[in-house]
Chains A and B, each alone.
Chain A
Amino acid sequence: MLDGLQRLGRLTLGWLNRLGRATLFLLRLLGTLGALGRRPGLIIKQLYSVGVLSLPIIAMSGLFVGMVLGLQGYANLVDFGATSSLGTVVALSLVRELGPVLAALLYAARAGSAVTAEIGLMKATEQLAAMQMMAVDPFARVFAPRFVAGFIAMPLLAGIFTAIGILGGYFVAVYQLGVDSGAFWSQMQAAVGLVDDVINGVVIKSVAFGWVANWIAVFEGYDAIPTSEGISRATTRTVVNTALVVLALDFVLTAIFFGV
């Protein structure tokens, strides 16, 4: 019993310690953002790496998720003769929940893990130390551009995921299942609100997820033990921790925006 309590205490202290270090890391990173504004090239290069290169997986996943939503929605709505509401079901599911959440999870798996591995390897091969020895702050030159680029890319990717998902649902609904095209779009237009659904859903959620996903990815790389095993563990932690934090945060935001 006492052993268990001790272990729990140690785990809690370790977790708090790590959270504290991650917070100090973030504060120092935010302190370098002013200087970063004068070098937009650094952000653009990273935007390509974390944003553009993530597009194929985001687009493909969005398409399939939308198509599945179309099929599942139709299978349920047909019993009630409400298949004309299929557009609403697909759009609300994607805009409020699946778009930002799945885009964030995919982002963590594709771009977040790459950022962690890249920074961890830079640490292991002494590239970060070399930078510091050249009086160049890695927070301004390496960490901040990746954080900012990811923060910008995340909402855009979530938007693209959602839009392509809706198109996927549309193609299945209209061309495979015979739902009326006009009903699909008009019902969606009538039910989906710009502020209530689009802003509160896909925009605010993906901004919040982008913040935590990139904070975790950059910090894990910085904090990685500079060995092959250490980098491997850090990369895994990035994906696992981002998934858990995104899902928990999604619950909180959903309760705030859509809770009754």
Chain B
Amino acid sequence: MSATAFSSRSDPSSESPLVTVRGLSFRRGDRIIFQNVDLDIPRGKVTAIMGPSGAGKTTLLRLISGQIRPDAGRIEVDGVCVHELGRKDLYQLRKRMSMLFQSSALFTDLTVFENVAFPLREHTRLPENLIRTLVLMKLEAVGLRGARDLMPSELSGGMARRAALARAIALDPMMILYDEPFSGQDPITMGVLIKLIRTLNDALGLTSIIVSHDVKETASIADYLYLISDGLVVDHGAPLALESSSSAWVEQFLHALPDGPMSFHYPAPSYAEDLALREEPPRA
């Protein structure tokens, strides 16, 4: 892999998608997670990948970030095939992307300040006073400058996620992957996170990929939606366009209908068979 592939930031004005997925197949044991999936993530936009729990949304983020390799297909980030990279090149690429984990994944032995300073200390040789300034700027952006000396165990769930977001933007990445950023958050925190994700994306010229099943919140900030289920892309388009989709599955998912193409029951043998009920022979 040439060094120039990683030497510059992504060009937001470029028309080509930042992430291109073609023919992606991935299985875990006998279970098919993705089957010949194609999708494009446009640059500078907020793209949401939505689907029911267990649809493989987080797995898709892990595939895009090279944490796992696909069984078949090709995943390119900024023109570079992620799963063909060696460890060194993959780490070079990852310096330009960040991920906000569902659990926040803050380092529990470091303060909020030290957590945000961590990537700066690992990858730059900036003097300490400059690191301090940068960290305080990132913390100010997420409203946690005053919480810099707190330990992760002293933060609420929403604060932990904001601190993790400050850490995610520490190196000014070209792309942030959000794994269920709204799950388990109260309405006010959810509103704060929605505003932060949109504002940071536009102000910093990022590309954001949000994986979520919080339909209303995600659709409110996404420029483009992909709906996935059973290993396939069921539908995709702008949120307003999907609202008027004729697909029964899309209708059920977007409007949270309890019944529809998505079965309430997990696949199982017949109920009578499971309860060992015998059918009475017909009387003569």
Of A125, A137, A141, the contact of B91 (CB 8 Å cutoff)? A137
Contact A127 B108 (CB under 8 A): yes
Contact B108 A136 (CB under 8 A): no
The verdict on A260 contacting chain B, using a C-beta distance below 8 Å, is: no
Q: Separation in Å of the A121 CB from the closest CB of chain B?
A: 8
Q: How far is the CA of A77 from the CA of B107 in the complex (A)?
A: 57
Contact B95 A133 (CB under 8 A): no
CB-nearest residue of chain B to A118: B109
The verdict on A129 contacting chain B, using a C-beta distance below 8 Å, is: yes
Most chain B Cβ neighbours within 10 Å, of A129, A130, A141? A130
The verdict on B32 contacting chain A, using a C-beta distance below 8 Å, is: no
Interface residue tally for chain A (C-beta within 8 Å): 12
The verdict on A135 contacting chain B, using a C-beta distance below 8 Å, is: yes
Residues in A neighbouring B98, C-beta threshold 8 A: 133-134
Residues in B neighbouring A126, C-beta threshold 8 A: 101-103, 105
Q: How far is the CA of A133 from the CA of B66 in the complex (A)?
A: 9
Residues in A neighbouring B105, C-beta threshold 8 A: 125-127, 129-130
What are 19 A-B residue pairs whose CB atoms fall within 8 Å in the complex? A125-B108, A127-B105, A127-B106, A129-B101, A130-B101, A130-B105, A132-B67, A133-B65, A133-B94, A134-B94, A134-B118, A134-B119, A134-B122, A135-B91, A135-B122, A135-B123, A136-B119, A136-B122, A137-B91
The verdict on B92 contacting chain A, using a C-beta distance below 8 Å, is: yes
Q: How far is the CA of A141 from the CA of B122 in the complex (A)?
A: 10
Q: List B74-117 residues whose CB lies under 8 Å from chain A.
A: 87, 91-92, 94-95, 97-99, 101-103, 105-108
Q: Separation in Å of the B217 CB from the closest CB of chain A?
A: 22
Whether A127 contacts B107 in the complex (CB less than 8 A), given A132-B94, A133-B65, A135-B123, comes out as yes
Q: How far is the CA of A130 from the CA of B164 in the complex (A)?
A: 10
Query: Could you list 19 further interchain pairs (A-B, Cβ under 8 angstroms) beyond the known A134-B98, A134-B167, A135-B92?
Result: A125-B103, A126-B101, A126-B105, A127-B106, A127-B107, A129-B101, A129-B105, A130-B105, A130-B107, A130-B164, A133-B65, A134-B119, A134-B123, A135-B91, A135-B94, A135-B122, A136-B118, A136-B122, A137-B87
Residues in A neighbouring B123, C-beta threshold 8 A: 134-135
Q: Separation in Å of the B123 CB from the closest CB of chain A?
A: 7
Q: Separation in Å of the A50 CB from the closest CB of chain B?
A: 14
CB-nearest residue of chain B to A137: B91
CB-nearest residue of chain B to A121: B108
Q: Separation in Å of the A109 CB from the closest CB of chain B?
A: 22
Residues in B neighbouring A125, C-beta threshold 8 A: 103, 105, 108
Q: Separation in Å of the B182 CB from the closest CB of chain A?
A: 17
Q: Separation in Å of the A130 CB from the closest CB of chain B?
A: 4
Of B67, B87, B92, B108, the contact of A129 (CB 8 Å cutoff)? B67
Q: Separation in Å of the A257 CB from the closest CB of chain B?
A: 41
Q: How far is the CA of A132 from the CA of B167 in the complex (A)?
A: 14
Residues in A neighbouring B87, C-beta threshold 8 A: 137
Q: How far is the CA of A130 from the CA of B179 in the complex (A)?
A: 12
Residues in B neighbouring A127, C-beta threshold 8 A: 105-108
Q: Separation in Å of the A2 CB from the closest CB of chain B?
A: 27
Residues in B neighbouring A133, C-beta threshold 8 A: 65, 67, 94, 97-99
CB-nearest residue of chain A to B93: A135
Q: Mark B143-173, 1 if CB is under 8 A from A, else 0.
A: 0000000000000000000001001000100
Q: List B168-212 residues whose CB lies under 8 Å from chain A.
A: 171
Q: How far is the CA of A136 from the CA of B167 in the complex (A)?
A: 14
Residues in B neighbouring A130, C-beta threshold 8 A: 99, 101, 105, 107, 164
